[in-house]
């Protein structure tokens, strides 16, 4: 299992870096990893960050890996609620 800790402010720039990190985990042959996104430090998620997480969740589902968002801060939960992406919270995709 690979854990990725999100920063306090996930801006479009850091969302792009997150995408590259997640994408590298899905590339290549062999078993697909179990990815855990730790969101306890998050105080702000940009729309780009939410989009990255949703696309990565779908990619994990499609490719046979797993992706789950754990320990979301209250601010992270509110950002996800406002953007209609609460399905990310605590959901493991197999």
Number of domains in the chain: 1
Domain hosting 41: range is: 2-88
- What is the model's pLDDT at position 92? 39
Helix (H, G, I), strand (E, B) or coil at 44: strand
Burial label, 70 (beta-carbon count in 10 A; 0-12, 13-18, 19+): middle
At 25-84, the pLDDT tens digits run: 877 666 677 889 999 999 999 999 999 999 998 888 888 888 889 999 999 999 999 999
In a domain, 67, yes or no: yes
DSSP state of 69: E
pTM for the structure as a whole = 0.85
In a domain, 11, yes or no: yes
Instruction: For residue 21, give the CATH number of its domain.
Output: 3.30.750.24
In a domain, 94, yes or no: no
């Amino acid at each position: 299992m690979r854990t990725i800790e999100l920063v306090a402010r996930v801006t479009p720039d850091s969302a792009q870096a997150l995408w590259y990190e997640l994408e590298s985990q899905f590339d290549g042959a062999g078993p697909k990893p179990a990815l855990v996104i730790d969101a306890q430090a998050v105080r702000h998620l940009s729309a780009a960050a939410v989009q990255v997480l949703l696309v990565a969740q779908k990619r994990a589902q499609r490719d046979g890996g797993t992706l789950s968002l754990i320990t979301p801060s209250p601010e992270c939960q509110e950002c996800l609620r406002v953007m209609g992406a609460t399905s990310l919270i605590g959901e493991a995709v197999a």
